[in-house]
């Protein structure tokens, strides 16, 4: 079975990890040798959060997915690498650099290698494949586009760059609108449209506006998903009227949506066949079904690896 996950940061990374565990650690070539069907996971990752700091190219969502699949991530914090030190950041501060964005010493190596390869002319998709392979990651991690795509956030204080909004101001501003700079001209990275023809396509429980919308804004992606031949499933990031992590609930509200799994289902209704909602939201199963969607009710809060694998197995069973 071929599975494709559309993912943002932490929620996407956790479900990617679960799918990787559920599909088994055996590489495709080994599966083929044993005569079973190859099982392949592709994770298409948002790059609207990407930024440049200290002249280095930073891809936070890609790194969260790669670090999580490599089992190098900091589970407690939700981002970055475990056991990090911050000597370079401290020295950058001493040199007068603005260090509001925390970058660990080992994390910096990723950004240094990425920047070097991008400057040489390698596309981000090739650089990401190299980095993922260097960290022993099996699934294919693909940025949604190799072209420029930047999520800009309109707030009462004006339009902010994504990381300024999210990290610099701790997503405290009301979001009045979103702008995906470059999306109109951005082409899908090699393999992205093919990946949408998988047996199972999953929209991760990531922020619908900050993680999934910029993916869909890339030329042809929304259309390819709307007409995808496989089973299309979305997992609600809203549980009991709250986001598991981040500002999804506030943004639903300020943009005029219902702050619930039903509100999310309405956004995705034309794009998926199945909506996965949490058992705490079981009462919404009827209204979601009324949108023409199949509803799967389960415990969607993944937590650690066992919970991730369990949810992933339920998704695989939907095909």
List interacting residues with a second copy (CB under 8 A).
54-56, 84-85, 87-92, 94-97, 104-110, 112-113, 115-117, 119-120, 131, 134-135
The residue among 97 and 290 lying less far from a second copy, judged by its C-beta, is 97
Of the pair 39, 51, the CB lying nearest a second copy is at: 51
37-71 b/e (C-beta count within 10 Å ≥ 16 → b):
eebbbbbbbbbbbbbebbebbbbbbbbbbbbbbbe
The CB-of-3 to a second copy minimum distance in angstroms stands at 27
CB of 284 to a second copy, least distance (A): 45
* Residue 225 tokens, joined: 């998903």
| Minimum CB distance to a second copy smaller for 134 or for 242 | 134
- Residue 97 Cβ vs a second copy, minimum distance, rounded to whole Å: 6
Q: Which residue has the tokens 């993916």?
A: 215
For 34, other C-beta atoms within 10 Å of its C-beta total 7
Q: Is 65 helix (H, G, I), strand (E, B) or coil?
A: helix
Number of H helices, E strands in the chain: 14, 14
Compute the least distance from the CB of residue 114 to a second copy, in Å: 9
CA 310 to chain centre: 19
Kindly tell me which of 26 and 135 has the beta carbon lying closer to a second copy. 135
Cβ burial, residue 22 (10 Å; 0-12/13-18/19+): buried
Closer by beta carbon to a second copy, 85 or else 102? 85
Whole-number minimum distance, CB 130 to a second copy, in Å? 8
């Amino acid at each position: 079975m071929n599975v494709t996950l559309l993912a943002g940061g932490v929620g996407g990374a956790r479900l990617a990890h679960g799918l990787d565990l559920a599909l088994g650690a055996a590489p495709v070539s080994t599966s083929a040798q044993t005569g079973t069907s190859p099982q392949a996971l592709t994770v298409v990752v948002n790059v609207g959060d990407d930024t440049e700091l200290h002249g280095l190219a930073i891809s936070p969502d890609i790194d969260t997915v790669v670090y999580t699949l490599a089992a190098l991530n900091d589970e407690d914090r939700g981002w970055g690498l475990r056991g990090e030190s911050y000597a370079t950041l401290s020295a950058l501060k001493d040199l007068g650099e603005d260090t509001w964005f925390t970058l660990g010493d080992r994390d910096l190596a990723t950004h240094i290698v990425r920047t070097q390869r991008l400057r040489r002319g390698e596309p981000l998709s090739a650089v990401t494949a190299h980095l993922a392979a260097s960290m022993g990651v099996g699934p294919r991690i693909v940025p949604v586009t190799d072209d420029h795509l930047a999520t800009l956030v309109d707030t009462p204080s004006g339009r902010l760059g994504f990381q300024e909004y999210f990290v610099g101001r701790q997503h405290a501003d009301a979001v009045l609108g979103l702008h995906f700079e470059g999306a109109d001209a951005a082409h899908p990275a090699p393999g992205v449209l093919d990946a949408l023809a998988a047996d199972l396509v999953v929209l991760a429980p990531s922020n619908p506006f900050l993680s999934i919308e910029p993916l869909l804004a890339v030329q042809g992606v929304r259309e390819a998903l709307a007409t995808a031949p496989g089973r299309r499933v979305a997992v609600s990031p809203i549980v009991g009227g709250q986001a598991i992590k981040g500002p999804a609930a506030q943004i639903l509200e300020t943009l005029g949506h219902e702050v619930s799994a039903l509100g999310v289902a309405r956004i995705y209704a034309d794009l998926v066949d199945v909506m996965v909602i949490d058992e705490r939201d079981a009462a919404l199963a009827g209204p979601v079904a009324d949108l023409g969607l199949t509803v799967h009710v389960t415990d969607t809060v993944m937590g650690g690896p066992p919970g991730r694998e369990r949810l992933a197995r339920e998704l695989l069973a939907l095909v």
